[in-house]
Chains A and B, each alone.
Chain A
Amino acid sequence: DQQVKQNSPSLSVQEGRISILNCDYTNSMFDYFLWYKKYPAEGPTFLISISSIKDKNEDGRFTVFLNKSAKHLSLHIVPSQPGDSAVYFCAASSPRGGSNYKLTFGKGTLLTVNP
């Protein structure tokens, strides 16, 4: 049972436009969410995160929105740049308690930004 879902395997946008990547989760105990960017043959790079006490977090061109009632979050990139082309993973922090800080990842969305 996949607890974090990224239903769009790929997304293509034009340079300068907005990229919107979506993520849904099923476990209501998740309370910390992260977005990672990954290039082929490299480890993921952290982009931005959001705690469940917030509904928006912004960092430069990247904004993450969280809708707890819908168990949905999205990453907005604006303006999109060709260098943003990569696979984007949504991740959620495991339930509260103990020292287990493991993350549950979605399957990723391949973003292609066309010049």
Chain B
Amino acid sequence: GQSLEQPSEVTAVEGAIVQINCTYQTSGFYGLSWYQQHDGGAPTFLSYNALDGLEETGRFSSFLSRSDSYGYLLLQELQMKDSASYFCAVRGVDSNYQLIWGAGTKLIIKP
């Protein structure tokens, strides 16, 4: 089967750096995506790692290591507006055109 695991909740301080991990068990996949969802809102796409390594987009970076079955989302210079849930997702080679989603990590930011 295929599954992704994320911590259910992470707490950090405004201005700090936080890392949200995503570990997965799947026979193979095409890449790792990250989405952000504010309370009451829709998920919005943040990043996609097709290859191993680090992808940087402004204050957000995403990392993938296929050999370690591991990825993470790094948020720098945290702002209160970053308080949200963050989901990782993969499209497995065995899952046709479905995305398999993690259960999400709620990021709580304290002043």
Answer yes or no: are A and B bound together in one complex: no
Instruction: Tell me the A residues contacting B by CB distance below 8 Å.
Output: none
